[in-house]
Amino acid sequence: MTVKQLKEIPVIFYRSSLGAEPVRDWLRNLPSEDRRTIGFDLATVQVGWPVGMPLCHSLGGGLWEVRSTLPSRRIARMLFFIYEGQLIVLHGFIKQTQRTPQDELELARKRMKEVVT
């Protein structure tokens, strides 16, 4: 039996034109157990891409979400896209409703446009 070597995709966090990293800031404000869970889930996507449900879900237009169930009994989402061989994390939030709020999607899509232009 041969073991297939997985290729790791570099993870890059969105950075604004002013140098702010809102996703990293959001992560830093979470409890350490929640950060650890999100980090593990993101690393799973990083080394196993493409990854399907239940961990990863397409939101259309090249936008994807990493779905994390946190120890604090909350649900987190990290929105990302693949660009030039890199996993670009655009936005993170705690999910409050069954559907992903439109404003969260719009923010991620706006940031996606900034990255590609």
> What CA–CA distance (Å, rounded) separates 31 from 33?
6
Which pLDDT tens digit goes with each residue over 20-55?
A: 999 999 999 999 999 999 999 999 999 988 888 899
Alpha helices in the chain (DSSP H): 22-28, 32-48, 102-116
pLDDT in tens, 62-80: 999 999 999 989 999 999 9
> The CATH number of 11-116 is which of 3.30.2310, 1.20.1300, 3.40.50, 3.40.190?
3.30.2310
Beta bridge partners of residue 78, listed in sequence order: 66, 92
Under 8 Å between Cβ of 66 and 77: yes
Give the pTM: 0.90
